[in-house]
Chains A and B, each alone.
Chain A
C-alpha cells in the first residue's frame, strides 16, 4: 500500500466517491439545497405559509423563505429590493406593474425558463390573464388570482319594481329613474375614490361593456374622441350623477353595507365584493345580490391578474431558476390545487379556466354567484392596456375623471388633458 502510486490513489478516491454517490443519491440532492426568497403582500399569510410547507414537503432540497409586506407598501418595498439587490427569487406581481418591472429587467420571462410547460398551460388560462402577464411578447407569470369587475344588482328590488335586468347603460339609467320615482333616493351606489386604482379600473370596465377601448392597437389615446366608448361613458356618469341617481362610497368595503341597507339597487365592483355582500353570516340582505353581465353592446369587462413571477437575479443561476420554476409550477400550474384552495377557502377568483368546471369550486361559489353568468363574464373579459407609464398616467387621470363626473370640468376638457398627459409620457418613454 505504501508503494501505491499517486494516480492510483486519486483513482481510488474517485471510485469511492462514485460508489458513495450511487449508493446514497438523496445525499447528493441535499448537497444542492436551495433556499428561495418569496416576496408577497400579507393577505392570508397563514394560507401562504401552509402552501409553502406543502411545496417543501414535496420538494426536499428546496426551502422557501416568505417575506411579506402590507398591500400599500408592497410596490415600493419590492422596487427597493430590486434596486438594493436584495435576494429575491419569486414575487407576487401585478398587471399594472409588469411593464415597468419587466422593462427595467427585474423580471425574467417564464416562457424562457419552461417553454413547453408554459405553452401547454396557456390553453387553460383566461385570455385577459395572458394579456395581463405578457410583456413584449413574453409571458412573465402564472396566476395567483384573477378577477373581473362586474355589474351587481339587487334581485328583490328589481323584481318588486318589475324591472328587467338592464343590458345597456341607457337601461340602467331608466331603471334608476323608475326606482327613484318609486322612492329610492339613489339607486346606484358607486365606489368614488379618485386615489384608488379601482376608480380607473371600474371606468375601463364600463367602457369595455360598451365595446370600446381608451387606446387603439398602437397604444394611442383615443378616449378624447366624442364617439369613443370611454368618452360616452364618462358623459353618462356625469349625467346620472347630475340627476341625483348616484350615491358615493369611498371604498369597496363600504359598498357592502350600503347595498345591504336596501337603499341601492346597482353597483360596479370586483366579484369578491359580491361574495362579501352575499355572506349570510354577517349581511342582512345576503342572497339578494346577483351578478349581471356588464351593460353595453359588448357586455365585456375588465379582468385583472395577480401572478407569481421569477426575478432575473433568480434566473441567472441554474439551480435557483429550476427551483423557482418548480415553486411557481406548484403554486399555479396543473392540477391548480393551490388556486383551487384560494377559490374555495377565500373566494378568490382565478385565471385557470378548468376550475370553473370543478365541482368543489362550483359548490363553494354557488352560494353567492350564478356560475354560468360568471363564466360568460370571465370568457368575454379583456385585459387592460398596461404600458410602462399606465399606472403613473392613471394617477393623474383619475382626479380629472372625478372633476368631470361631478361637473367641476367638462368631459371634453378632462379627456383632452388626459390624452395630452398620455402622449407626453409615451413620448418621454420612447426617448
Chain B
C-alpha cells in the first residue's frame, strides 16, 4: 500500500532543501558579512572584523532610536490590526444589503503595493492640500493645517495608520475563515439561553477564533517589526528619526551608506530579535491553544 510515511527523508528533504536555500543560506551569509568589513567604496578591504560592525551600529546615532521606534510600532499596530480584523470580520458575517460588495472593497488595501499605499496616504495627510485637513477645516474642526507628516509624533501615528490600513484585510480574511467553522446552531442555542452579544462572543466566537488570533498576532508583530516600504515612501524615516525603523536602518546602512557589513549586522540583529519575539509569544500562549486542532489531525 502506498504511504507517504515510507519515504520520510524524501518528503521532509525537499522542503528542507528549499528552506536551506532560501532562508538558512541567506541568514548565514548575512551573519558572515556582518562579521566582515564590507564596504562598497573599499572592495579590496574585505576582512574579518569580528563584532566591530555590531559595536559600530549599536553605538551609532540611530540604532537605539530605531529599535525603540520598531518596538513601539509593533506594540501599537499588531494588536490594532488584529482587533480591527476581528471587528470587521464580525461585521461582514452579518447579513445586509451590499455585503458582497463591501467584502471585496475591504480586501482592496491588501492587494495594493506598499508604495501605492504610501502615496495614497500622503494625499490624505498632506498638510497643504491633503484630504484630511481639508475635511477637518470644512467641518470647522480646525482653523490651521495640522502637519501630519512633519510633526514627529503625528508622523509616527500617520505612518502607523497607513500600515494598519494595509494589513487589516489579511486579518479579516483569516478571522472570517475561522468564523465560518462555527456551527450556527451554537449561536441559536446561546440566544435561547439568553446570552447577550458579549457573552456570545466570549463563549461561542472566541474559542473558535483564538488560535487564529494568536497566529495573526505573531504574523502582524513580525510584519510590523520588519516593515519598510510604507515608511520609506511616506516619510523617508523622518522627520529626523521619528519614523526610522530597524528594517529601514538595514537599508540605510547597506544601500544608502554602502556599508554592507554594518547593514548585515543590523539585519542579523533584527532576525535574532524576531526569533526571540516568536519564542516569547508562543511561550506565553496557553498550552492547550492548538490542542483541538491537533486532536482532529489525521
Contacts and interface: CB of A to CB of B under 8 A. Distances in A.
B235 interface: yes
Contact of A250 (B147, B234, B244): B234
Task: Rank and list the top 7 A-B pairs by shortest CB-CB distance, nearest first.
Answer: A195-B236, A248-B150, A395-B256, A408-B240, A403-B240, A258-B128, A193-B236
A261 B41 CA distance: 44
A76 B145 CA distance: 40
Contacts of A202: none
B211 to A, nearest CB: 40
A402 B126 contact: no
Interface in B212-244: 232, 234-242, 244
Interface residues of A, number: 38
B75 interface: no
A257 B128 CA distance: 9
A264 interface: yes
16 contacts: A195-B232, A195-B252, A247-B128, A248-B127, A248-B150, A250-B149, A258-B128, A258-B129, A261-B128, A261-B129, A264-B128, A392-B41, A399-B240, A405-B240, A406-B242, A417-B61
Given A186-B145, A429-B41, A250 B236 contact: yes
B160 interface: no
B234 A399 contact: no
Nearest to B128: A258
A55 interface: no
A125 B40 CA distance: 32
A247 B41 contact: no
Contacts of B259: 392
Interface residues of B, number: 33
A84 to B, nearest CB: 13
Contacts of B145: 185-186, 247
A388 interface: yes
Given A100-B41, A186-B145, A395 B128 contact: no
A189 interface: yes
Tell me which of B61, B144, B149, B235 has the highest count of chain A C-beta atoms within 10 A of its own C-beta.
B61
Contacts of B150: 192, 247-248, 406
A200 to B, nearest CB: 12
Nearest to B249: A399
B122 A254 contact: yes
A249 B258 CA distance: 27
Interface of B: 40-42, 61-62, 122, 126-129, 144-145, 147, 149-150, 152, 232, 234-242, 244, 252, 255-259
Contacts of B144: 185
A402 B171 CA distance: 36
A192 B122 CA distance: 14
A263 interface: yes
A272 interface: no
Contacts of B40: 79, 392
Contacts of A189: 128
A399 B244 CA distance: 10
Contacts of B257: 392, 395-396
A19 to B, nearest CB: 55
Contacts of B232: 195
A399 B127 CA distance: 22
Contact of B241 (A258, A264, A403): A403
A193 B239 CA distance: 8
Contacts of B252: 195, 395, 399
Nearest to A196: B236
Nearest to B244: A399
Nearest to B127: A247
Contacts of A192: 150, 238-239
A261 B145 CA distance: 13
A365 to B, nearest CB: 27
